[in-house]
């Protein structure tokens, strides 16, 4: 086996150094998402004792993965040759869970996406809920409407600033990384 093929060991080390519980890269569609989500549900119940946190991580994960799926569906409609390759990682650091997604978007979508996240980040909890209700009652179930709703839903559940990074790859595409933090400070009482 050649030296370069050993890179799986390098991947392993990077993952372990970063406390990654799980990472998946490839094509995402609803069946893949369902299967991943089912697996994480099982794993979470063994690594996380607080059911509120379990639920949050699980719910946010579904939204994040569906966002990836929506982005690639959008791109396919526009016939932009985006690589449909996407990454999802779940990390645990201390009392925090980090869900990170990485996927390709068109350069033209960057500004709108950045603005939406920035806008959401400055709202307080009540304002976020108000925004959520607004989007719902607008009845706009277009792809874009869906993404806005998903994003605000994630923001409400996470209760932390949403983080992002845009890495321009070439004249058409950007690799967009999106991070959600879920902090385990929820009280849980066993009755």
Partner 1 sequence: MELKAPTNFTFDIHQMMREHSVLLAFTGEFDMKIINALITSVKMKMSEVEPAGKVKKKVYNVMVECLETLFRNYEEDQTVSKLINSFSVFTLSRYKDQYSLLSGNYIFNENIAAKKAQIEKINGLNQEGKKKYFRDCISAKESKERNSELAMIDIALKSGNPLGYDFKTVDSLTSFFVFQVKINIR
The least CB distance from residue 64 to partner 1, in Å, is 12
The least CB distance from residue 19 to partner 1, in Å, is 9
CA quadruple 110, 115, 118, 120: dihedral positive or negative? negative
Toward partner 1, which CB reaches closer, 59 or 175? Answer: 175
The least CB distance from residue 21 to partner 1, in Å, is 6
Toward partner 1, which CB reaches closer, 109 or 179? Answer: 179
- How many whole angstroms separate alpha carbon 178 and alpha carbon 166? 9
Check if the beta carbon of residue 59 is closer than 8 Å to that of residue 66. no
Toward partner 1, which CB reaches closer, 109 or 174? Answer: 174
- How many whole angstroms separate alpha carbon 163 and alpha carbon 40? 22
Q: List Cβ neighbours of 48 (8 Å cut-off, separation of 6 or more).
A: 54, 57, 97, 184
Q: Which residues bind partner 1 (CB under 8 A)?
A: 1, 4-12, 14-16, 18, 20-29, 31-32, 35-36, 38-39, 42-43, 84-85, 87, 89, 91, 93, 96, 98, 100, 102, 161, 163-165, 167, 175, 177-179, 181
């Amino acid at each position: 086996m050649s030296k370069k093929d050993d890179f799986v060991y390098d991947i392993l080390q990077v993952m372990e150094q970063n406390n990654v519980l799980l990472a998946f890269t490839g094509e995402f569609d609803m069946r893949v998402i369902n299967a991943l989500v089912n697996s994480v549900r099982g794993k979470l119940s063994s690594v996380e004792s607080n059911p509120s946190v379990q639920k949050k991580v699980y719910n946010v994960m579904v939204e994040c993965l569906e966002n990836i799926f929506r982005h690639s569906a959008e791109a396919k409609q526009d016939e932009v040759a985006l690589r449909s390759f996407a990454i999802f990682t779940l990390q645990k650091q201390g009392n925090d869970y980090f869900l990170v997604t990485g996927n390709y978007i068109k350069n033209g979508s960057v500004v709108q996406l950045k603005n939406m996240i920035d806008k959401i980040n400055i709202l307080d909890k009540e304002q976020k809920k108000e925004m959520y209700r607004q989007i719902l009652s607008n009845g706009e179930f277009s792809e874009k409407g869906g993404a806005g709703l998903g994003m605000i839903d994630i923001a409400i559940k996470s209760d932390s600033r949403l983080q992002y990074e845009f890495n321009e790859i070439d004249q058409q595409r950007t690799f967009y990384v999106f991070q959600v933090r879920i902090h385990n400070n929820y009280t849980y009482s066993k009755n």
